[in-house]
Amino acid sequence: MEKLPEKSSKGWVNGFIGVLIFSGSLPATRIAVMGFNPIFVTVARASVAGLLAVFVLLFFNQRRPTKKQFSQLIVTAIGVVIGFPLFSAMALKHITSASSVVFIGILPLLTAIFGVIRNEEKPHPAFWLFSILGASLVVGFAVYQGVSNSPTGNLLMLLAVVLCGLGYAEGAKLSKSLGGWQVISWALAIALPLMILLLFYFFPPTLRGISIASWLGLGYVSVFSMFIGFIFWYRGLAQGGTASVSQLQLLQPFFGLALATSLLQEEVSTLMMLVTIGVILCVVASRKFAG
């Protein structure tokens, strides 16, 4: 009986560390795409993280996934290894990282929705009410921003978080049988051959003129966002439970906005803050009726 609270608290600590690491992803990606092609950033981060993952899997002599787990890993890889990194990088060529962080506010909601679908749960009707309200806030903000900003960037970012929510939910479900850090490691390993092939294809014709900041941004998303962050995140979900620990994602928009203003000197408007807070309140309310 005493081990459960200890395990749960460890899950919250690991989940918090994962969210803290993820909070730097969009600002770092924004810096990286200032010097690199978004597709190159996507395949480079997946290749570097994939090589690290293969080394760790071999070092700890991990058993191979079953056929069922393999198919689940493909879905996870499509969501978090390819989908979110690619479309968020493409979006950040059109919008600021501060604008993109607003979309992260709906990520816990999407993770919950995909979790409900994948686990065949039947939540209270109020869950769907708050889900629709939260989604409407984000879509409404995107449409409003599109008037003076970039509808293309907003649509790309929306697609990115939808795929990320799918990858989170699938990975969280799989972590119960495969293990927390093993999920992201195997997902990266599965995608590695294709990522390396694309890495050479999209490799820049010249590296001259690329700033140190862009290299550092690429390094951060490759090592921390794509690998180390997921080790803590999936371990936290496995230890503390997906429904409870995933609520820590609510902190990510605030951390992201703080980094956008401090590192990139981007403007955070009052409307941006209000929409972010509104989405978070909808997520909190929907979580209450998710189970």
Looking at the predicted structure, is the pLDDT value of residue 2 above 60? no
Query: Residue 248's pLDDT is what?
Result: 80
Q: How many other C-beta atoms are found inside a 10 Å radius of the C-beta of residue 269? A: 11
pTM, two decimal places: 0.85
pLDDT in tens, 204-216: 999 999 999 999 9
* Distance separating alpha carbons of residues 274 and 81, to the nearest angstrom: 31
- On the question of pLDDT at 288 being above 60, the answer is yes
Per-residue pLDDT reduced to its tens digit, 132-184: 888 888 777 766 765 556 888 989 999 999 999 999 889 888 888 888 889 99
Percent of the chain with pLDDT over 70: 91
User: Of 164 and 5, which is predicted with more confidence?
Assistant: 164
Encode pLDDT of 109-138 as tens digits: 888 788 777 766 666 788 788 878 888 887
Question: What is the pLDDT of the chain when averaged over all its residues?
Answer: 86
**Any residues with CB less than 8 A from the CB of 82 and at least 6 apart, and which?**
42, 46, 191
Q: Which of 4-13, 28-37, 159-168 has the lowest mean pLDDT?
A: 4-13
The pLDDT assigned to 50 comes to 97
More confident residue, 199 or 248: 199
Q: Which amino acid is at 154?
A: N
**What is the structure's pLDDT at 1?**
37
Render 75-123 in DSSP notation, one character per residue: HHIIIIIIIHHHHHHHHTTTS-HHHHHHHHTTHHHHHHHHHHHHHT---
For residue 149, give Cα distances in angstroms to 93, 146, 153, 164: 12, 5, 8, 23
Q: What angle, 0 to 180 degrees and rounded to 10, lies between the N-to-C axes of helices 38-59 and 180-201?
A: 130
Instruction: Evaluate if residue 44 carries a pLDDT over 90.
Output: yes
